[in-house]
Amino acid sequence: DQQVKQNSPSLSVQEGRISILNCDYTNSMFDYFLWYKKYPAEGPTFLISISSIKDKNEDGRFTVFLNKSAKHLSLHIVPSQPGDSAVYFCAASDDNDMRFGAGTRLTVKP
Amino acid sequence: EAQVTQNPRYLITVTGKKLTVTCSQNMNHEYMSWYRQDPGLGLRQIYYSMNVEVTDKGDVPEGYKVSRKEKRNFPLILESPSPNQTSLYFCASSLWGGRGGYTFGSGTRLTVV
């Protein structure tokens, strides 16, 4: 039973445009949410996070939005750059545990 | 440099031959965890450890063992590997367990034939 779902396996956008990656979760005990980025042959690297007491967190070109009532979060990348092409994993955690989605492969075309 | 080091990076082995994948972190993190990544399934937790001598099962612990005898090391042991354990494995560590951003190792690609 996947508690964190990323329903889009892939996304392709043009350089300079906005990329929106979506994530849904089922467990209401999760109160901390993260996005990781993964390049081939490397481990995932932490990108941005948000606590459940917030609905938005911004870091440069990256913004994460949280809608607790819908159990939905999204990652916005503006403007998208070719170097952003990677697999993005959404994760949700409580005190002890972190669960990951299946990932979305983002391709940013020049 | 703060890092999580896994070895080996690549391993091909035969069914039933015991193997160990090592994981070491130099950040004095209390929390360590093992994940496997499979297509369409994302990262699934195998085992985690909140501190020395404290380990617990994740979502997919069958066929795996771990130990945490010292803070920096968290080896993953496959006593009798089977082909369904062919996967990409990641070790991760964190200062605050589920609350902190994980630092991941570079991965170990295991093939069991």
Residues 6 or more apart from A5 whose CB is under 8 A from it?
A23, A24, A25, A26, A101, A102
Q: Which CATH class is domain A4-109?
A: mainly beta
Contact state of A2 with B42 under an 8 Å Cβ cutoff: yes
Mean predicted lDDT score pLDDT of chain A: 94
Using the Cβ of A50 and the Cβ atoms of chain B, whether some distance falls under 8 Å is answered with no
Per domain, the residue ranges of chain A are 4-109
Nearest-10 Cα torsion for A75, A80, A86, A92: -10
Name the least confident of A15-19, A63-67, B91-95. Answer: B91-95
Give the pLDDT confidence of A51-106 residue by residue, as tens digits: 999 999 999 999 999 999 999 999 999 999 999 999 999 999 887 678 899 999 99
Question: What pLDDT digit, counting tens, does each position of B30-89 carry?
Answer: 999 999 999 888 899 999 999 999 999 998 999 999 999 999 999 999 999 999 999 999
What residue ranges in chain A does DSSP mark as E strands? Answer: 4-5, 10-14, 19-25, 32-38, 45-51, 56-59, 62-67, 72-77, 86-93, 98-100, 104-109
> Residue A1 pLDDT more than 70?
no
Mean pLDDT, rounded, for B96-105: 81
Give buried/exposed letters for A91-104 (b at 16+ CB in 10 A, else e): bbbeeebbbbbbbb
What is the predicted pLDDT for the residue at B42?
A: 87
List the end-to-end C-alpha distance of chain A, in Å, as a whole number. 38
Contact at CB, B42 and A6, closer than 8 angstroms: yes
Q: Determine the pLDDT at residue A98.
A: 84
Instruction: Kindly tell me if the per-residue pLDDT of B9 is higher than 70.
Output: yes
Q: Which of B59, B98, B102 sits opposite A94 (nearest CB)?
A: B98
